[in-house]
Structure 1
Amino acid sequence: MDYGSPDDLGRPTGVKATITKDMINTGTSANPAIQPPGWSGNGTAFNEARGDLLGKQLGGSGDIPENLVTLQQNWTNTPTMRGFEGQVRAAVEGGQVVDYSATPIYNGNNLIPKAVTLIGKGSGG
């Protein structure tokens, strides 16, 4: 896994990983002590999530600040990102190796990404 270095504003810049079977379900939940850039302090009240760029089900660490961005819980974190991660997981469980990347896209100096580009390319196409 390669977690990019934070940018000048301290924002996570992305992750690249090659997902293999031994990584599935080895990740950790987002650490509540980590406050990603733009975090309001109350995820429930503001529909926010500490969004993993590389999700727990794919072996991502919730203890690495470079892996966590502030996202909307509904519809961005779940079901959109979780659904994509589920497709990657299914491909890996089906025998493929998947090259995966997640890149947050920021609007100017905004601390919260306006989008996250997710790419997964399996060894079987």
Structure 2
Amino acid sequence: MQEILSRAPGAPAPASDGSWDICGLPTDARIRYNPYSYDPVAGSTVARGGWGVLCEGDHAYGTEAKKSIHPPGWPQVRNSAGDLVWAKNHPYARCHAVGSQLGGSGDLKENLFTCPQAATNNSWMKRVENQKRIKIEESGNAALYFSTPIYLNQSDAKPSAVIMQVYMMNRATAMITPFCSVVIPSRLGRPGDVQNGNKAVTDYVQAKCKA
């Protein structure tokens, strides 16, 4: 990975001792978003998440989701003329695969997927992402991060869950060590069930993802 990223546009030159700081790359060279593609279970085009090398200070480059972007699975209704239009009143949000507080873009559709506001795009989800950001800033190292939506429901382009995997990375050598892996459910339900379920997930992350 170090060899691949060292050839990216804007890559810094190696130091005199041959070491190379991966965080010298701009965020758009370190964070990648997978293109939308067809999923046989969902029966349609779906979001595929993103991955990247995350560094201290990346949160300054993250952006909120553009409201003009409608990810796969975004609700539609028929108007009085019978035409399909984007729904206005619904419980869904535009979730980032790579969170804005991790440097993820809300301007690129590939980084956005449709998720329930209460179940996924809420304070519990942000707490998980903030834990990763704090770990990066406290350690002074980087993190290799993967965010992968999974689809289990027939004919539904909204993810059933999102798998988030993090490996701490030495900035100079690109050597990695596992940090944590967590599955965030992405489903509708009663507010109490959703909140308690996500709190359990967050508690699991805090217990299992400490270095």
Asked if structure 1 preserves the Cα contact closer than 8 Å seen for 2:57 and 2:137, the reply is: no
Larger Rg: 2
How far does residue 30 in structure 1 lie from its aligned partner after superposition?
0.2
Asked if structure 2 preserves the Cα contact closer than 8 Å seen for 1:42 and 1:48, the reply is: no
Gaps of 5+ in 2: 1-30, 39-43, 76-85, 170-176, 178-210
Report runs of 4+ in structure 1 exceeding 3 Å deviation. Answer: none
2:105 pairs with 1:75:
no
Asked if structure 2 preserves the Cα contact closer than 8 Å seen for 1:102 and 1:118, the reply is: yes
How far does residue 81 in structure 1 lie from its aligned partner after superposition?
2.2
In the alignment of these two chains, the number of paired residues is 124
Identity %: 33
How far does residue 13 in structure 1 lie from its aligned partner after superposition?
0.8
Q: Which of 15, 18, 33 is equivalent to 2:53?
A: 18
Instruction: Report which structure shows greater RCO (CA 8 Å, sep ≥6).
Output: 1
Cross-structure match for 2:163: 117
| Rounded Cα–Cα distance in structure 1 between residues aligned with 2:125 and 2:52 | 16
The TM-score with structure 1 as length reference comes to: 0.89
How far does residue 98 in structure 1 lie from its aligned partner after superposition?
1.2
Moved more, 51-60 or 10-19: 10-19
Gaps of 5+ in 1: none
Cross-structure match for 1:105: 150
Greater helix share, structure number = 2
Q: Which of 27, 35, 38 is equivalent to 1:5?
A: 35
Moved more, 59-68 or 2-11: 2-11
